[in-house]
Amino acid sequence: MLLSQCLFIIDNTPQDQRVSNYFTQFGFKIIHYADLAQLDQSTEKPVALLINWQLLQNSPMSLKTLFEYFHAPLIVISDTQSEEIGIQMLESGADDFIVKPINPRELHARITAINRRIQKIFKVQQDEKEVFVFNNWHLCPASRQLFNDKNEELKLSASEYNLLLAFLRQPQQVLGREFLLQLTKNSDLSPFDRRIDIQISRLRHKIEQDTKKPLLIKTIRNGGYLFTAQVFPIKKS
């Protein structure tokens, strides 16, 4: 699902009613602007911006500036087929280039695909600024590294890292076996498969003081596992 349902169309040519009719039926609010200068007055957060390439030629506002402000897909539209213009727009920062007449369904699919990529990039950037602190440990998702209170690194396998990150993102909640199996790329296994227990045991040996009496990762009978520690997500500046 897209984060917003507002579509900006910046174009000084007659409106394509097919585009408006199509997106309106999906709950979108269509806002038309005759030039880029009018965007200064906008208080909406768009899911995408459709911009006539000719308006960019006479505006001090660049595609880079528009993306930094709106953080939404920038799709440049043109009335004529021009390979050179398309390349120029993509090199200038456009996410896509479309020649009229616009197929509304194709446009919807392109917006969804571009937005999906943007959100993934944004999530990675946020993760890179985040550190999880618990007990005497801190985990850095950006580098996938775990350090103790002496700043010594403890090596984790990919499965151990995925398990620990899941626990840190959802502390003091029971996580079922099926959910944990999916995280460790073993979703084809039965929730009753004992391999998840082996992976949990390996993780316990690395972060628990006493594996016979684990305090951080508790086994919940017929439920799964519970991470008991208080977790502090800290954003790095």
pLDDT for 26 equals 87
Quick: pLDDT tens for 189-204.
444 557 788 889 999 9
Its pTM surpasses 0.85: no
pLDDT for 123 equals 63
More confident residue, 215 or 64: 215
Q: Summarize the confidence of residues 87-99 as an average pLDDT.
A: 93
User: Does pLDDT of 3 surpass 90?
Assistant: no
**188: confidence class by pLDDT, cuts 50, 70, 90:** very low
Task: Give residue 27's identity as a one-letter amino acid code.
Answer: G
- Across all residues in the chain, what is the average pLDDT? 85
User: Does pLDDT of 87 surpass 90?
Assistant: yes
Cross-strand bridge partners of residue 233: 132
Phi-psi region for residue 62, left (φ > 0), alpha (ψ -120 to 50) or beta? beta
pLDDT for 158 equals 80
Angle at 12 between CA 6 and CA 18, to 5 degrees: 55
Quick: pLDDT tens for 125-154.
555 568 999 998 999 987 889 999 999 999
pLDDT for 1 equals 38
CA pseudo-torsion sign 53, 58, 62, 66? negative
**185: confidence class by pLDDT, cuts 50, 70, 90:** low
Helix (H, G, I), strand (E, B) or coil at 92: helix
Helix (H, G, I), strand (E, B) or coil at 57: helix
Furthest C-alpha separation in the chain: 73
**Domains of the chain (ranges plus CATH)?**
6-127 (3.40.50.2300), 130-235 (1.10.10.10)
pLDDT for 183 equals 67
Query: Per the structure block, which two tokens stand in for 45?
Result: 């957060």
d(CA 105, CA 22): 8
pLDDT for 45 equals 82
Contact 218, 226 (CB under 8 A): yes
